[in-house]
Amino acid sequence: MSGVHDMSELPRPAAKRLRRPSWRDSRLLVGVLLVLLAATLGARAVAAADDRVPVWVAAGDLVAGDAVGVDGLRAADVRLADDMDSYLAATSAPPPGSVVLRDVRAGELLPRSAVGTSAELDVQRVTVSADTVSTTGLVRGSRVDLYVTPKTRVGAEEPPGTTRVLRAAGVAAVAPAGGGFGANATTSVQLFVPTASVQDVVEAVDGGAKLTLVPVAGASGS
């Protein structure tokens, strides 16, 4: 029939050819840059993690004379630095018999220079009994000045003067309860006393002198 057109003669849409992405395609460039950025950041993160080493940190306040053991320390990973050899590595336990030669506060990295032997220690523990009022609030790690007021001697024309015997002495321990009542109440406190001052403190204790402990401002527990 002449009025019927052959379907094969209808125009067909031209097929579009897929073209390969070009380096000039902005989306491709952004994708490549993102991949490179992620790889760079990941490499830096791994490198930073590799630079961290374990060192010992004081778990609580350490006072000169305290024994150094893992029970009073905790390990912390810190970033490597030029002076990292100055601190005690936590790759092994502290040397047996080690003591702290100076105060180390809680959370502080443990310097090698602060750890030594008892022979290097220049303080000794001495227990004194001070009036309870002056010991209120003292805890292990506190720093105190020790004032000594000798007993008044019979026949003395003037009362004895008060002398400061120790400056910023470390408190090793405080007894849980004091002795005596009222104004006569006393509390036993163990102090780290410099070796050169031990005799003065012992003579004051044996002589029945009144001992007063004055907390040092800014020290732990004061």
pLDDT score at 35 = 78
pLDDT score at 49 = 53
pLDDT score at 90 = 93
Kind and range of the H or E element at 183?
Answer: none
Specify the higher pLDDT residue, 1 or 193: 193
The whole-number average pLDDT for the span 182-189 is: 80
pLDDT at 5 over 70: no
What are the residue ranges spanned by the domains of the chain? 52-119, 122-153+160-215
Topology of domain 52-119, per CATH?
Type Iii Antifreeze Protein Isoform Hplc 12 (3.90.1210)
If you average pLDDT over every residue of the chain, what do you get? 81
pLDDT score at 215 = 93
Asked if 192 and 102 touch (Cβ cutoff 8 Å), the reply is no
pLDDT at 68 over 90: yes
pLDDT score at 52 = 81
- What tens digit of pLDDT does each residue of 45-57 get? 655 555 788 999 9
- What tens digit of pLDDT does each residue of 19-44 get? 565 555 666 666 767 777 777 776 56
CA distances from 5 to 12, 137, 138, 199, 217 (A): 15, 110, 111, 128, 109
Instruction: Give the C-alpha separation, 160 to 149, whole Å.
Output: 7
User: In this structure, which amino acid lies at residue 36?
Assistant: L
- Classify residue 3 as left (phi > 0), alpha (psi -120 to 50) or beta: alpha
Instruction: Give the C-alpha separation, 182 to 79, whole Å.
Output: 55
**Residue 154 pLDDT level (bands cut at 50, 70, 90):** low
